[in-house]
Amino acid sequence: MTQNNGDATTVLSRGLAAKGIYPAVDPLDSTSTMLQPQIVGEEHYETAQRVKQTLQRYKELQDIIAILGLDELSEEDRLTVARARKIECFLSQPFFVAEVFTGSPGKYVGLGETIRGFKLILSGEFDSLPEQAFYLVGNIDEATVKATNLEMENNLKK
């Protein structure tokens, strides 16, 4: 589904919805005329571009992954895939109206905090955390707490 209001085009993705990523907005196909450094600021613009580049490279690698598997990728491409998957999960949002469906409390996260989170993922700061830690969290600090909780749960199961 595509929604165009003149300044922005929002494209919803069945693939993201199938992964449980909500809102299922495709960041590669969605556009905004407002995403310019002189409007949103250099840091926001550069971070958004790096996120899109990472997701685009992941998309390009999908066929190789499907045929040969992750092990056949270069170390750099494996890192790109891991970071892209974390970005996809981090793009999931715990909406207040969706609490009843997700079981996760709704959260408000400011723009600066969101940009900070994406920059840290892109920098490799959280390469050691599982991608599930980034799913339905508000800010990046919640992802680190969730990763610790996931590790404790896994240790209890052993």
Of 20-29, 70-79, 101-110, 147-156, least confident by mean pLDDT is: 101-110
Range of the structural domain that residue 119 is part of: 2-157
Q: What is the pTM of this model?
A: 0.90
3-state SS, residue 106: coil
Average pLDDT over residues 21-49: 94
The predicted-structure confidence for 120-147, as pLDDT tens digits, reads as follows 999 999 999 999 999 999 999 999 999 9
Question: What tokens does 108 get?
Answer: 């408000």
Residue 86 carries which side chain, given as an amino acid letter?
A: K
- Residues 57 and 153: their CA atoms lie apart, in Å, by 33
Domain count, the chain: 1
- Residues 106 and 112: their CA atoms lie apart, in Å, by 18
- Residues 107 and 105: their CA atoms lie apart, in Å, by 6
- CATH number of 73's domain: 1.10.1140.10
